[in-house]
Amino acid sequence: MFCVCQKKSNVYDPTDIQSLNDITLEDTVTFIPPITEGKVLKVYDGDTITIGTRFPNSNVVYRFSVRLSGIDAPEMKGKTDAEKQSALRSRDRLSDLILFKMVRLENVKYEKYGRILADVYLGNVNVCSWMVAEKLAKPYNGGKKEEFLEDCVCDTNGFTEISLGEKTTVVTKPVAKKTKKQLK
């Protein structure tokens, strides 16, 4: 396969290094990977996961960091112990729900830090909306983030059942509260 980049009326040969020296930022287009699904390989926190997936017609498995669109979860390296504890709870509940499972990505684009930004679905469940409904994250659409208070994230005492269709139900277990010593 031979790939070319176009600049106005010029066509650049990707093997010609000099032609690459002549391009500017305005001559380029953002590459959005053609991904629509993947297996969750890692849950970093309540709004960032890593998936493994293939491009169409490719045997190579690529790894992508994906930020869940429209939400903000507490930071693992938060300012307070309460925020860190909430971050662990948020991450663990998300992990219980989707780790090592296939998810669908919709509305795929990049966010300001270069990660993939997408609406993430497990079956028919919008994982982003689920995180907000479970009080594990807050709605976020860019701009300045609000600080997390202790009561922003639920301390789940019960199980949450999610129907993914006629024959599939996911039950997420309650997460034990961590002590300050365990957080360090």
- Domains in the chain: boundaries: 37-183
Q: What is the pLDDT of residues 50-79, one digit of tens each?
A: 999 999 888 999 999 999 999 988 888 877
pLDDT at res. 31:
84
Q: What is the pLDDT of residues 21-56, one digit of tens each?
A: 888 889 888 888 899 999 999 999 999 999 999 998
What topology does CATH give the domain 37-183?
Answer: OB fold (Dihydrolipoamide Acetyltransferase, E2P) (2.40.50)
Quick check: 152 pLDDT over 60?
A: no
Residues 160, 3: Cα–Cα separation, whole Å: 49
The pTM score is 0.69
Residues 175/92, Cβ–Cβ less than 8 Å: yes
Classify each residue of 57-84 as buried b or exposed e, where b means 16 or more C-beta atoms within 10 Å of its C-beta. Answer: eeeeeeebebbbbbbbbbbbebeeebbb
> Does an H or E element contain 86, and which?
helix 81-98
* Three-state helix/strand/coil letters over 112-133: CCCCEEEEEEECCEEHHHHHHH
The alpha carbon of residue 103 and the mean position of all alpha carbons in its chain are separated, in whole angstroms, by 11
Q: What is the pLDDT of residues 75-130, one digit of tens each?
A: 888 778 888 888 899 999 999 999 999 999 999 998 888 889 999 999 999 999 99
